[in-house]
Structure 1
Amino acid sequence: MKSLMQDVPLTLDVVLHRCRETGANVEVVSVTPAGPVRTTWGEIGRRATALAGVLDGLGVAPGGRVATFAWNTHRHVELFLGVPCAGRVVHGVNVRLTDDEILYQLRNARDEVLFVDASLTDRVAAFADRLPVEQVVVLDDGAPVNPAFADSRRYEDLVQAAPDVEPVATAAPDDAAWICYTSGTTGLPKGVVSSHLACLFHSMSSMTVDSHAVSREDVLLAVTPLFHVNAWGLTYTTALANAKLVLPGRDASGGALAALIEAERVTVAAAVPTVWVDLLGPASEPYDLSSMRRVLCGGAPATRSLLDEVARRGLVFHKGWGMTEMLPSGTMQVQPPELDLDSPAGALTRVGKPSAGVRVRLVGPDGEVLPWDGRTTGELETSGPWVIKAYLDPDDDSNDSRFHDGWLRTGDLAVIHPDATVEIVDRVKDVIKSGGEWISSLALEQALAAHPGVAQCAVVAVPHDKWGERPAAAVVAADGTSPCADDLAEFLAERVPRWWLPERIVVLDELPLTTVGKYDKKALRARLSSPSRS
């Protein structure tokens, strides 16, 4: 027996229709070099619909790839919605990559057109003569355009010239919607290709109370860049919820974000821990952040000092775990400000239960599935409707090594408690093997971060002639403090086994970051490695 339900394709057209039909009075605010721009979800939906005609005029055939090189603004959101709904594929390029990395991604994705913010045309001009795309379109954001692109087409001209038509569904649920590349910290970045169905399911899941809990009552500040897994999918989620969206443009400094929160009465914001540390630090003191209700945080472990500050402000902390390969949400731990962080439920390493739709399991070194007993450690594997089954490049060896019986190998070591709560022990690539025994870099980082003089810290493995590897640590001092290596080692000795104590502890002005705001452990290893002691 078949159902008698309407046959509505589960594509991003659902989001597009939502914008056009119910978003006329819901504001979207963008920060640009020319000042704040105010529009609505309804207008974004109309302009996103016009992109079908724009891409036709540019000669991009159905299934063609379109790159963006832009900050978080309403125009960028239009592209991430309108390009897939026009039956093409959008690829957000990380603006913080090197020239060669950008060119590699453009070639690997086989992009035909590049949409670039006027304020970024100087950056692209550095490699303009090597661009593999056929055309460049400039997004006018109020900044001057580099002379190399003086003759390039202008986005506003194209959109305004396109006919105002009703949306026509051109994509199927399993068609590609967008491409995002992994950070590539251990090799070339890998292309992750999301389907319309996966995007839609992921964004609907983010509306649930046990996930990001985005509702129509919210004003959401999307600090996470669109080129980083579509701002964690939150642009689609916010559109579906009919919530006000605030886009910060290029300035993600703590003071600029705090000013935005005050001006727009933001209730919830999404960012990686390094951004939150800056935002909730001294930079926010002149501003009124009383409208804030929730903190969405992911991409790296949160420190005890950050969680203490969030709790002091009376905010609910949504601590997520995931990866680009799952768009990126996998689990969520929702922590109210009254939660005792010294209790098992408040453990810094706990990242919550799997999001509805996501499955997880633990696997041992021989491929055996391990129990959820809160003690047994294994590699975390995952599957679900928004988890990839392969990378874009069919010749990539990771298409064999990263997948196991239809499950994605995450590279995280974890335990799973009987109530399904996941606790991350370490990254497989970051765990330190010293004298045949394992040391958790994550556990060392959490212990170091508990020191009142430590604002940020990272632990890596460095070579050692006798022990093979030893831990080394780098810290950034908290404002008004000046911790020394001996003090930090003494502090650690009371909290971890003595043989875990780092070989070196150095105090730096800042920790190196990857292009998506995570600590760059590859760069730290190179910096902290030195002739070993026996």
Structure 2
Amino acid sequence: MLGMMMNTPLLISTILRHAETYHGTTEVVSKSVEGPIHRYTYADMARRSRQLANALARLGLEFGDRVGTLAWNGYRHMELYYGVSGSGLVCHTINPRLFREQIAFIIEHAADKVIFADLTFVPILEALADHLKGMEAVVIMTDEAHMPKSDILPGLVCYETLIAAESDAFEWPEFDENTASGLCYTSGTTGDPKGVLYSHRSSVLHGMSISMPDVLCVSAADAVVPVVPMFHVNAWGIPFAAPMTGAKLVMPGPNLDGASLHALFESEGVTFTAGVPTVWLGLLDWMDAHGKTFSTLNRVAIGGSASPPIMINRFNRLGVKVRHAWSMTETSPVGLAATLLPKHEALSTEDKLMLEAKQGRPVFGMEFLIEGADGKPVARDGKAFGAMMVRGPWVAAGYYNMAESAAHDKPGWFNTGDVVTMDADSFVQIVDRTKDVVKSGGEWISSIELENIAQAHPAVKEAAVVAKPDPRWSERPVLVVVLKPGNSFTRHDMVDLYSGKIAKWSIPDDVIVVDELPHTATGKLLKTAIRQIVLDEYARTSPDDNMAG
């Protein structure tokens, strides 16, 4: 017997209709690429999204066509999220921080019909002109007063002119909720980027899930800044969760430095924000240097890569609660959130911090399987570790236009590539990425644990640990650090720092000081490049025995 509930499909357009109808006067504020602050409401956003949908139809786009975006977090990008997906097209967000060759690859792999780009990224489009010849249009997201002149791309279309010619009368179509809505490619640190194709159903369910109190806790009482970019994994779903709940949405645009973010937070009464550790490191350092505090910010979500406990502590000292989260492109992206249980309130401040620094507990909708080397589930004791696999309604079942995927070898599961532990309270902690763990003499050494310890040293601004080949132990860890101005950090300092905190055999063999560490297009440490830094340094300093332990 079936239930007698209405079979209303979960479509992204229903989020916009809800925001317009019931939160229509709530503000959407954007720091524009052109410079000024732009303000309007969810009702205005809905109206302009309908105009955009009409414009896309006039361009000749058909159901399921891909529309590429190269854009910062701003109001026009929000209109594309809804105008494209809502009309049955696929919003393909392109990460401008990828290499040019990677961008060219994903534009062609996705078979984009139209590209929309912010002014900042016109040089990228010009460099890719040969790959854009089959486009129906290349649209620059600005007004006529700021339209660039390009001899390489003479047919550029102005966004404001494009939609101004259209009526705001548009009926959002109703279709199967499993229809594709968005496309995002992984950062492709090994091999070509892989496409993750989201559906309307997965996006709506994920938006509902992250809004819950124990995840990101988004509500109409909030003013939210997604610092995490809309060009990667839908800004962690916040562009759906904020209008879904009626939260004020504040978009930072291209200016993500500490001074710009702090000014925006203060002027707009921001209560919640989300981003990767590298951005927060810049903000916290700027605030320390200028003696600043927050007047309204009370929560920050940190994800994308592991947050060092020292970063969580620095926010706590400013009166800001940290919600550590785990995410992947393939999981839409949020799957874990580190929310303490009532029994943890009795713990010491240090013990609470250690729990909050873990990746978190599974959010509803996500199921986790942690398998040891023998293929059996490991004990949930916080010590036994294994490969983490996940499944759920917003987990990728495969990659776009790829026949096979090693990550999906286990039927019904996605292998995340993370080595983790899970404790009795279901807190998951990443020991390492499978490809980053240091395998030394038959033992596994967690690069993340070593990095967190190093990050806590007052002289260290940023730290990375990678393996170097070793003739005796197979691999040995090496610490690579960026120092705060005016500081030093020697090998002796390093040994003192680690002594008593980890097993002696886990202490890195050496420390290398660099001016900066390379990062991926999504802000994570680029371990492949850091390994090369280490190899180059050993080759330079010990040409006759560069792999000696």
* TM-score in terms of structure 1 length: 0.95
Structure 2 residue 532 is the aligned partner of structure 1 residue 517: no
1:137 maps to 139
- Paired residues for 1:83-482 under 5 Å: 83-131=84-132, 133-134=134-135, 135-140=137-142, 143-147=146-150, 148-283=152-287, 285=290, 287=292, 289-334=294-339, 340=348, 342-343=350-351, 346-347=354-355, 350-395=358-403, 397=404, 399-482=405-488
CA shift at 1:127, angstroms? 2.1
Alignment-derived partner of residue 29 in structure 2: 29
Which moved further from structure 2: 101-110 or 439-448? Answer: 439-448
Does structure 2 retain, via aligned residues, the 8 Å contact 1:317–1:335?
A: no
Residue of structure 2 equivalent to 1:49: 50
Answer with 382-391 or 501-510: which moved more.
501-510
Q: Measured at CA, do residues 279 and 334 of structure 1 come closer, stay the same or move farther in structure 2, by a change above 3 Å?
A: farther
Deviation at 1:357, TM superposition (A): 1.0
The residue type equivalent to 1:448 in the other structure is A
Residue 42 of structure 1: how far off its partner (Å): 1.2
CA positional deviation for 1:502: 1.5
Q: Deviations over 1:39-64 (max 9, x none)?
A: 11111111112222111111111100
Size of the aligned set, in residue pairs, is 532
Which structure 1 segments of 5+ residues have no match? Answer: none
Q: 1:401 to 1:221 in 2, by over 3 A?
A: closer
Whether the aligned pair in 1 keeps the contact of 2:309 and 2:354 (CA below 8 Å) is no
The alpha-carbon distance between structure 1 residues 251 and 507, as it changes in their structure 2 partners (threshold 3 A), is: same
How far residue 335 of structure 1 moved from its aligned partner, in angstroms, is 6.0
Is the CA contact 2:407–2:416 (under 8 Å) kept in the aligned structure 1?
no
1:289-327 Cα distance to aligned partner (Å, 9 max, x none) = 211010111011111221111110121110001211001
Amino acid at match of 1:486: H
Q: Residues of 1 paired with 2:300 and 2:233: CA distance?
A: 18
> 79-88 or 139-148, which moves further after superposition?
139-148
Task: Spell out, residue by residue over 1:398-430, the C-alpha distance to the aligned partner (whole angstroms, 9 max, x if none).
Answer: x24434120111111111112222122111111
Query: What is the deviation of 1:480?
Result: 4.9
How far apart in 1 are the matches of 2:175 and 2:74? 25
Q: Distance in 2 between matches of 1:375 and 1:344?
A: 18
Give RMSD over aligned pairs. Answer: 2.0
TM-aligned CA deviation for residue 469 of structure 1: 1.2
Check 1:503–1:90 CA distance in 2 against 1; reply closer, same or farther (3 A cut). Answer: same
User: CA offset at residue 193 of structure 1?
Assistant: 0.5
The letter of the residue matching 1:532 is M
Q: Contact 1:125 / 1:146 at 8 angstroms: preserved in 2?
A: no
- State the shift of 1:186 in Å: 1.9
What is the deviation of 1:432? 0.7
- Are the aligned partners of 1:352 and 1:422 in contact in 2 as well (CA < 8 Å)? yes
Where 1:351 maps in the other structure, the secondary structure is: coil
Residue in structure 2 matched with residue 7 of structure 1 by the alignment: 7
Offset from partner CA, 1:63-89 (integer Å, 9 cap, x none): 000000111110001111211110000
1:532 aligns with 2:538: no
In the aligned structure 1, how far is the partner of 2:45 from the partner of 2:348?
43
For residue 345 of structure 1, report the CA deviation from its aligned partner.
Answer: 6.7
Which stretches in structure 2 are left out of the alignment for 5+ residues? 539-545
Does the C-alpha gap of structure 1 residues 150 and 283 become closer, same or farther in structure 2, counting only changes over 3 Å?
A: farther
1:117, CA displacement in angstroms?
1.1
Matched AA of 2:399: Y
- Preserved CA contact (<8 Å) 2:481 2:511: yes
Q: Contact between 1:361 and 1:381, CA under 8 Å: does it hold in 2?
A: yes
Give the fraction of aligned pairs with identical amino acids, expressed as a percent. Answer: 36
- Indicate the larger mover: 81-90 or 342-351: 342-351
CA displacement at 1:499 relative to structure 2: 1.8
> Once the 2 structures are TM-superposed, how far is the Cα of residue 340 of structure 1 from its aligned partner?
4.1
Q: Contact between 1:106 and 1:133, CA under 8 Å: does it hold in 2?
A: no
TM-score (norm 2): 0.93
User: How far apart in 2 are the matches of 1:287 and 1:496?
Assistant: 35
Provide closer, same or farther for how the CA distance between residues 31 and 286 of structure 1 changes in structure 2, counting only shifts above 3 A: farther
What residue number does 1:497 align with?
503
Whole-angstrom distance in 1 between the partners of 2:373 and 2:477: 23
How far apart in 1 are the matches of 2:134 and 2:103?
12
> In structure 2, do the counterparts of structure 1 residues 269 and 92 end up closer, same or farther at CA, with 3 Å as the change threshold?
same
Specify the code of the residue in structure 2 equivalent to 1:100.
E
User: What amino acid sits opposite 2:14 in the alignment?
Assistant: V
Distance 1:498 1:146 in 2: 62
CA distance in 2, matches of 1:485, 1:402: 42
Report the more deviating stretch, 300-309 or 503-512.
503-512
State the distance in 2 between where 1:151 and 1:351 align: 47
Structure 2 distance, partners of 1:433, 1:322, is 25
What is the CA-CA distance between 1:133 and the residue it aligns to? 4.3
User: How far did 1:166 drift?
Assistant: 4.1
1:17 maps to a residue whose letter is: R
Give deviations 1:427-476, integer Å, cap 9, x for gaps. 11111111222111111112212222222111111222332211111112
